[in-house]
Amino acid sequence: MAVNLIVGNWKMNNDFVAAIHLTQQIGILARQADVSGVSLVVAPPTCDLRSVSSVIEADRLAIKIGAQHAYWEDGGAFTGETSIPMVKRLGCTFLIVGHSERRELFAMDDEAVAKTAMSALRHDVTPIVCVGESEEVRENGGHVEFVTAQVQAAVGGLTPAQRRDVVVAYEPIWAIGTGKVASVEQVAEMVAVIRSAWPDDAGDLTVLYGGSVKPENAAELAGTPGVDGFLVGGASLNAEQFVQIAVTAAKCYR
């Protein structure tokens, strides 16, 4: 079954004190609001995972945790990396895989994305596989082909049973952190492209949209056919905005 998720990608923001504070604020606001039917996930920097999971447990907050990145090997001589079993032990049940910033700035290619997704599934961590085209690719009319290839490369090597546990986030690079939001038509088209690129029946696939999601545009985007939730960057650093996005989405999905 597709699930409704609102995922906050904090990127490289918030030390452990700020992370605890933001988690508590989100948890308290979400408790007072109506977010039923929608799961809230926060993805803090790796060094904050322990603090965030401790406060969620201590305050019994209805928030799940994701890691922003992890390496596909379980352990060994990989200086600077963190494995999926390591982040899982810190409370992560989700892993963002292949965010465009990882792909562009840290040379994460399709093969690394596929290996990471596979490793997450092996450890019962849900991979949120990010796909999306650059402005240049879109202007040249190659976006459908580009995203289709990204999807097939990421999940083509998985079994149908493994693919049932994958979440996909459509994040056009030109909409990330720019304030330029994809139109409903553009999002609907690309979500349909992702579903038709899926090697199996994509009826139960969870597809998120990400790219300058804010409380003001959340209703329209959540109402876009095929969109099951959001991956939120900037607005996830503000508890009021993040919870408001979740409230708006929850209303659309009920």
Active site residue ranges: 99, 171
Closest residue by beta carbon to ligand PEP: 233
CA distance from start to end of the chain: 15
3-class SS shares of the chain: helix, strand, coil, % to 5: 50, 15, 35
Site for ligand PEP, residues 144 to 183, rule: CB under 6 A: 171, 176-177
CB under 8 Å to 174, separation ≥6 — which residues?
Answer: 133, 134, 135, 138, 180, 211
Long-range contacts of 109-112 (CB under 8 A, 24+ apart): 110/149, 110/150, 110/153, 110/154, 111/153, 112/72
Asked if 56 interacts with ligand PEP (CB under 6 A), we say: no
Asked if 95 interacts with ligand PEP (CB under 6 A), we say: no
Residue in the block written with tokens 């996930």: 41
Asked if 106 interacts with ligand PEP (CB under 6 A), we say: no
d(CA 41, CA 9): 9
Asked if 232 interacts with ligand PEP (CB under 6 A), we say: yes
Asked if 213 interacts with ligand PEP (CB under 6 A), we say: yes
Q: How far is CA 11 from CA 3, 46, 48, 100, in A?
A: 23, 10, 11, 12
Asked if 234 interacts with ligand PEP (CB under 6 A), we say: yes
Closer residue to ligand PEP (CB): 125 or 176: 176
Among 211, 217, 229, 245, binds ligand PEP (CB under 6 A): 211
Asked if 9 interacts with ligand PEP (CB under 6 A), we say: yes
Q: State the minimum distance, in angstroms, from the CB of residue 101 to ligand PEP.
A: 7
Among 66, 127, 210, 226, binds ligand PEP (CB under 6 A): 210
Residues 150 and 79: beta-carbon distance below 8 Å: no
Interface region with ligand PEP, contact rule CB under 6 A, candidates 69-77, 197-205, 206-214, 246-254: 206-214
Closer residue to ligand PEP (CB): 210 or 226: 210
Positions that interact with ligand PEP (CB under 6 A): 9, 171, 176-177, 210-213, 231-235
